[in-house]
Chain A
Amino acid sequence: MEHIRTPKVEQVRLLQRRAGQRKPLLGTLYLSATHTIFVENHPETRRETWVLHSMVSGLERPPGGPTGSQLVLRCKDFRVFHLLFPLERDCVEVHASLTRLSRPESYSELYCLSINPNTNQEEREKSWSLVLPSQDYQRMGLPNNLWVATAANSEYKMCDSYPAQLFVSRWASPAVLMGSSRFRSRGRLPVLSYFHQDTLAAVCRCSQPLSGFSGRSEEDEQMVTAVMKANPGSDFIYVVDTRPRLNAMANRAAGKGYESEDHYGNIKLHFSGIDNIHVMRSSQQRILDVGEQRTPSMSDFLLGLENSGWLKHIKAVLDAGVFIAKAIADEGVSVLVHCSDGWDRTAQACSVASVLLEPYYRTMKGLMVLIEKDWVSFGHKFSHRYGHLDGDPREVSPVLDQFLEVLWQLAQQFPCAFQFNERFLLDLRTLAYSCQDGTFLGNSEKERRSLRLQERSFSVWSRLWRDREKYWNPLYRAEQSQTQGVLRPNTTPYCFKMWKGLYSPAETPAPPAQTPVDFLSSVREGSQQLEQQLANQQEVADALRQRVRFSFWRELSEL
C-alpha cells in the first residue's frame, strides 16, 4: 500500500484508559492496509489490539517527553489509544500514514470493498436477503385498500434520496405525487413509513414544504388530504414538524418552512423541538468529555451533564416519538412527520414511534428491518453522518446514536420488552461507523445501487444475526412484550440516565461484577442443556423399562 510509510515499529508503548488499563503495554505496532495492529511483547499473553482505519476519528501529537514521542489515536467508538514511540521519526511516519489511511477518499478504499467477497457468492446473496423492507410492508398487510405501491420512483427520478419502492395513499394520483414532490425539499413527498393495523392510522414522512411565507401547491395540499383519506377513522391529520418552531420559521425566509393550517384545512401542526445536527454534534462531544473526566466531583459531573444538553436532546427525540405513537394508538389519527430534509430527525421520530407502537420492532430482526427501512432505504446519509470518507466535518452528526440511546433508555424502563441487550445496540452503533459491511455505505439507495454493493460486499445484518446468542436479552418474553403492546414510557427528566456503557465504560467495580444479563444467560444456557439431557435420559429409561417389562413377561411365561 502506497500510504504506509512504516509498516512496523518495535518497542512501542500503548495505553488505553477507557478499558480500565492503568499501565502501558510494551509491544510492536503494525500498519496494514485496513488495520493498525498492536501485539504485546509479553510472551505469555501476546495480547493483540486491532483498530480499523475507518474507526479512527482523530490523531494528535502532543509534545513528547524524554521517553519518546506521543501519538494519540481517537476512535469513533470513543476508544482512545495513547502510543509512545522511542524514536520521533517513527511517530511522524505513523502519524502521516494513519492520517491518510483514516481518511479514505473513495469507497473502494474501505475495508468492506477492499476484501474480495466473491469467494462465497451464495453466502453473500443470502446475507443481503436476510432483511428487506419489502418483507416489512408485507407484514403490515400492504398493499391494501388504503395504501398502494407506486412505481413513480422506480428509477429514482422523482426523488433521488428515496427508495425505489414507495407506498402512498390510494387517493393520490400520479399527478398529485409529482406535484407534491416538486413542492417538497429535495423532492421528498409524503409517503408511508408505518401502518398501524389496529387503528388503520399511519405514520407518514416527508421533507419541509417549499412554502416560504405564502407559497402553496394545490397538489401538495391534495396529497396531505389523500393521507388523511387513507385513514377512514379521522377527519384530520397531525403534521409533526420535529424542529424547534423558531428554526422552522426561519426556514420560511429561504423559501422553505412548514404547512400553514390555513392552507391545509385538515391538519393540526405540532413542533417537537429537536435541535439540528450541528447542535447534536457539539452536545455529544461535551457528554463525552463528561464521561472521560478523570476524577470529577459529583457536582462537576452533574453540572457537566446538564451543560452538555445531551439528555435534553434524547428526551426531545423520545417525546417526539411518544407524541406520534399516542396520536396513532390512542386517537387513531394519522401523522405526517418532517424536519428540513426529512432524513435525520424524521428518521428518528418515525422509528421511535414505530418501536413504541409495534412489538415486532423490539426484536432483533424487527429492529434490523426498521433501520433498513426508515434509515437505510429512506436516504439517511450514513456516509456523511458517520464520516466514512474524508469530507465535510460539518456533515458528521450522531443521529443514529441518539435513536439507539433512546432504545437503551426505554430498555431501562421496560426490561422485558426488548429481545436484544445493550451489547447489540453498542455493536450496531460501532458497525454504522466502521463500514465493515456494505449496508451502511453511501447516502442513499440510489448511490448504493450504483456502487453495486450487493455484489461487492456483505450485509451487516447477517453479521449481527450470526452472533444473535450474544445479543439475547434473557428477560425478554415475547408474550410479555405483546401484552405490553404500545409502550408508554415515562419521559419525566429523572427517567433519563447517562448511557454509561457508551460514554464511561472505564469506571467499573473491582473485581468486575457479573451482570444480570450474563448471569441469566448462562442459567438459560444451562437449562437448555438440562432439557437435552432430560430428553436423552428419558429415552434410555423408556428403553430400559421396556426391556424390564419384556424380561418380566418372559420369566412369567417360563414359570
Chain B
Amino acid sequence: MAGAGGGGCPAGGNDLQWCFSQVKGAVDEDVAEADVISTVEFSHSGDLLATGDKGGRVVIFQREQENKSRPHSRGEYNVYSTFQSHEPEFDYLKSLEIEEKINKIRWLPQQSAAHFLLSTNDKTIKLWKISERDKRAEGYNLKDEDGRLRDPFRITALRVPILKPMDLMVEASPRRIFANAHTYHINSISVNSDHETYLSADDLRINLWHLEITDRSFNIVDIKPANMEELTEVITAAEFHPHQCNVLVYSSSKGTIRLCDMRSSALCDRHSKFFEEPEDPSSRSFFSEIISSVSDVKFSHSGRYMMTRDYLSVKVWDLNMESRPVETHQVHEYLRSKLCSLYENDCIFDKFECCWNGSDSAIMTGSYNNFFRMFDRTTWRDVTLEASRENSKPRASLKPRRVCAGGKRKKDEVSVDSLDFSKKILHTAWHPAENIIAVAATNNLYIFQDKAN
C-alpha cells in the first residue's frame, strides 16, 4: 500500500529535516556485550530519557534547561543518573541462569518531585525512585566537624543538627521488587491509566500487579496448554490502552492481536476483539509464520489506533476494525528474497520495536545496517535514515539512504548484499511532544531532532 521501499517518493521526502544532535556511548569498534542497549524510553514529559542495557544498568539522561546564550539550542540530554538495576542470578531449583539484561523500562506518570520507573529483566520487575537531594545535615554532638571524637564528659550543651545546602545529588533507590510471578521470560510491562496497577507479560501468561503490593499478582491471561506439546503460539508483547483502564492488547507469534476487556470478567482468557489479517496464499512460504510474528504492539497516544511490527512491515490498526490493518508500511521489503540466509544467521528472529510520534501522525521503526525508517501517515511519505558517527557534526542534516533491491545500483544507493546485519536498530523512542528521537544502535544512543528551529 505505502510506497514500498521509498522508491516512489523524492529523497528527503519526509517533510521534516532531521539533524544530528548527540551520540552517547563508546566509539570503540569492539563492543562489550554488557554495553549493548536493550531498551529506550522517554518519560511522559520528555524531559528524561532512560536506557537499559544487557549489563543490567539503567542510564537516565536529563534534558538541559534552555540555554540563554544559545537561544537556538533546545537543550541537550546529559547523564542524570546511572544505576545497576538488575544483577545476574541463578535459579538453583531449575538450574537456570537469569540474565541481568533490562528487557523493558516504563516510566510512571510523574506524581511528585521524584521520578519513578519500572525496569524488568526476564524474571523480576523493580520499581525505582529517582530523586534529588540538595541539603545535608551538619553538626554532631559527639564529634567535631572534622570527624574527631569529643570527650563525652565535656558535652555541656546539646546540638540539634541543621540543614545546609549542598551540591545536587541524584539518588536512585529500589522501592519495590516484584518477583517470583513469571515462569517464562517477561517481554512486556505496561502501566495502567488508573496509575495504580500494571501488567507484566511473559511468553504464556499476563499478570496484573498493584504498584504497592509485591507479594501478590493476579493472572489475567494464560495461554499455556495443558499439554506443552500442543503449544502453537506465544505472547510476544502486551500493552494497556492509554485511557481506558479496562482495555489491554497482546500480540502473538502467529501475527494476531487480541484485545481484552478486564471489565467483563476477572480472567481475560476470552478476548473481546481479535485482529488478524487474512493471509495471502500466493506468498505463503516456509518463513511465513516466522515473519508474521508480531514483535511489538503500541497504542497510539489518542487510543484510537494501535501499531504492530512484524519482521518485514509495520501495520496500523483501527481498534474498530478487526479484519485488516488500515495501513501497512513495508520496512525493508528487499529482505524478502534474503529470508533464507537471515534464517541461517538467526536474524529472522530479531524483535524490532516501533513507536509513534507525539501527535500520532508519524511512526518510526528500525532496520539493519543502522538504518531506521519513518513513515508519515498523512502524506504517505517515508524515509530511511542512518544512525552513524560519520556525519555526527552538531546540527548536520541526516541524508536519506536508499537500498538498491536489484538491477543496477544508482549513485548513493546501498546494495542489499552490502548491508551489515550485525548493526541492527531494534529500539527507538520518540519524544512525547516534540520532534526529538532516540535511536539505540548497539552500544550507542543517537539523539536526533528536527531542523525547524
Are these two chains actual partners, yes or no?
Answer: no
Residues of chain A having any CB pair with chain B under 8 Å: none
Q: Which residues of B are in contact with A by a Cβ distance under 8 Å? A: none
